[in-house]
């Protein structure tokens, strides 16, 4: 406060030469949850060759992630997923090629500024064990010099956003379950509202049931936040579930296919992709579509047939047909009114 004094009315006076900007009380929810801030991310022949290794870890990777979309990097262990992610925030230096965020090369960014604009979530979370949950979440805002009250409000808001209790702010990481720690990691990465999020197997160490819930909540969050997200996993089902697009990497960090989940399941580029997505890919493709998207038959064709909600997936419908040993289902809307009929052959086309 050496440069400032208070006048008689108690407002702060600046003694520097900058134009005086009237101080507005800190807005409570200024740049936070409703902001639709996102950046386009472009990998342009991005290549990483670790020293002393004959083969590239990431080999001329080119792909564009449109602003506000989730791109899932998936592939076998050692396929270069983590390396590709760390190239973006320059934890690993590019050997050749370029990566651009909203058109600007990452090499042109000041390193600190670059990393502040990128939220980073990893599997072991990397929470500071000697700091409370609240202090962990406030890490970046503190570095940015936010006033205490604003940090406290933001922390409270983030805890709610990721499904934790306000009281959890006072706890230490060791007192939390794996799933809770992962939520804290996500909250911390979101704290300064970065336009780009990098997530490296964030739910990899979580048991299947909690993991499914975290996936669902992450997807709900993303519908609200609309960040650009690069999400790494080795689990193709997780990729299909959460990705707007999926990039499949093969050994040596070469891109095998970059497409929507439906396109990858319906038209795998080669045998490697077909094998990676699994022999049940036709069933997985059915799980991506809902009965409400079909041209249904007249209601009369399903006379006496079992009923199914129109928000069910085609896969659920097929399972139902098999279980009921039926050829038809009556499709009903949420309010119970019939929407039409679906036949087994409609699903198998």
Q: Which of 158, 199, 195, 187 is nearest to 68 (CA)?
A: 195
Q: Which range of residues in 30-38, 75-83, 217-225, 291-299 is near Mg ion by CB under 5 A?
A: 75-83
128 contacts ligand ADP (rule: CB under 6 A): no
**CB of 78 vs Mg ion, minimal distance in Å:** 8
The continuous run of DSSP H or E covering 182 comes out as helix 178-190
Q: How far from 48 is each of 51, 80, 88, CA to CA, in Å?
A: 9, 9, 12
- The answer for 252, left when phi > 0, alpha when psi is -120 to 50, beta otherwise, is left
Site for ligand ADP contains 112 (CB under 6 A) = no
Does residue number 78 form part of the binding site for ligand ADP (CB under 6 A)?
yes
Closest CA to 164 of 217, 91, 229: 217
Kindly tell me the burial class for residue 168, based on how many C-beta atoms sit within 10 Å of its own C-beta (0-12, 13-18, 19 or more): buried
Query: What would you report as the CA-atom Rg of the chain, rounded to the nearest whole angstrom?
Result: 25
Number of residues counted as binding ligand ADP (CB under 6 A): 11
Stretch that binds ligand ADP, among 50-58, 172-180, 273-281, 285-293 (CB under 6 A): 50-58
The piece of 79-87, 161-169, 182-190, 269-277 that touches Mg ion (CB under 5 A) is: 79-87
Give yes or no for residue 83 binding Mg ion (CB under 5 A).
Answer: no
Nearer to ligand ADP, 55 or 160 (CB): 55
Which one, of 24, 221, 38, 26, lies nearest residue 141 by Cα? 26
Buried b or exposed e, range 299-313, using 16+ CB within 10 angstroms? beebeebeebbbebe
Site for Mg ion in 293-312 (CB under 5 A): none
Q: Which is nearer to ligand ADP, 84 or 339 (CB)?
A: 84
- HSE on the CB side for 200, CA within 13 Å? 19
82/182 with CB nearer ligand ADP: 82
Among 32, 47, 83, 155, binds ligand ADP (CB under 6 A): 83
Neighbouring residues of 58: CB distance < 8 A, sequence distance ≥ 6: 46, 47, 48, 80, 83, 84, 87, 253
CB of 253 to ligand ADP, least distance (A): 6
Residue of closest CB approach to Mg ion = 82
For residue 232, the SS3 value is strand
Q: Which of 68, 79, 134, 202 binds ligand ADP (CB under 6 A)?
A: 79
82 binds ligand ADP (CB under 6 A): yes
Q: Check binding of 194 to ligand ADP (CB under 6 A).
A: no
Cβ–Cβ under 8 Å, residues 88 and 231: no
Task: Return the structure tokens found at 127.
Answer: 């929470």
Q: Are the CB atoms for 183 and 135 separated by under 8 Å?
A: no
Question: Contacts with Mg ion in 232-261 (CB under 5 A)?
Answer: none
**Binding Mg ion by CB under 5 A: which of 48, 61, 75, 82?**
82
Asked if residue 81 binds ligand ADP (CB under 6 A), the reply is: yes
Among 42, 57, 65, 330, which residue sits at the site for ligand ADP (rule: CB under 6 A)?
A: 57
Contact of residue 173 among Mg ion, ligand ADP, none (CB under 5-8 Å per partner type)? none
H or E stretch covering 115 = helix 111-116
> Which C-beta is closer to ligand ADP: that of 116 or that of 254?
254
**Stretch of residues binding ligand ADP (CB under 6 A), selected from 81-89, 93-101, 140-148, 264-272:** 81-89
Q: Which is nearer to ligand ADP, 41 or 341 (CB)?
A: 41
CB of 118 to ligand ADP, least distance (A): 18
CB of 90 to Mg ion, least distance (A): 17
Contact residues toward ligand ADP (CB under 6 A) are 50, 53, 57, 75, 77-83
């Amino acid at each position: 406060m050496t440069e400032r004094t208070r006048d008689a009315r108690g407002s702060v006076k600046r003694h520097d030469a900058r134009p005086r900007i009237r101080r507005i009380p800190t807005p409570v929810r200024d740049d936070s949850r409703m902001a639709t801030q996102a950046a386009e991310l472009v990998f342009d022949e991005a290549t990483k060759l670790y020293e002393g290794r004959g083969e590239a870890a990431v080999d001329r990777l080119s792909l564009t992630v449109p602003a506000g979309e989730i791109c899932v990097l998936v592939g076998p262990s050692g396929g270069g997923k983590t390396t590709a992610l760390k190239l973006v925030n320059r934890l690993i230096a590019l050997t050749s090629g370029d990566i651009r965020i909203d058109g600007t090369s990452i090499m042109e960014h000041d390193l600190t500024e670059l990393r502040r604009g990128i939220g980073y979530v990893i599997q072991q979370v990397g929470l500071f064990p000697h700091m409370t949950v609240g202090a962990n979440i406030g890490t970046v805002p503190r570095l940015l010099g936010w006033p205490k009250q604003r940090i406290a409000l933001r922390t409270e808001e983030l805890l709610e956003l990721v499904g934790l209790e306000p009281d959890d702010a006072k706890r230490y990481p060791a007192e939390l379950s794996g799933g809770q720690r992962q939520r804290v990691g996500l909250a911390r990465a979101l704290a300064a509202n970065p336009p780009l999020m990098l997530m490296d197997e964030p739910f990899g160490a979580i048991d299947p049931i909690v993991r499914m819930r975290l996936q669902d909540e992450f997807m709900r969050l993303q519908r609200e936040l609309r960040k650009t997200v690069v999400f790494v996993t080795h689990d193709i089902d997780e990729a299909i579930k959460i990705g707007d697009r999926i990039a499949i990497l093969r050994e040596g960090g070469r891109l095998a296919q970059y497409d929507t989940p439906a396109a990858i399941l319906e038209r795998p580029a080669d045998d490697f992709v077909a094998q990676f997505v699994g022999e049940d890919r036709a069933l997985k493709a059915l799980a991506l579509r809902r009965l409400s998207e079909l041209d249904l038959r007249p209601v009369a064709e399903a006379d006496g047939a079992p009923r199914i909600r129109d928000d069910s997936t085609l896969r659920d419908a097929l399972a139902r047909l098999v279980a009921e040993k039926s050829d038809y289902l009556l499709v009903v809307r949420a309010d119970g009114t019939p929407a039409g009929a679906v036949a087994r052959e409609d699903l198998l086309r």
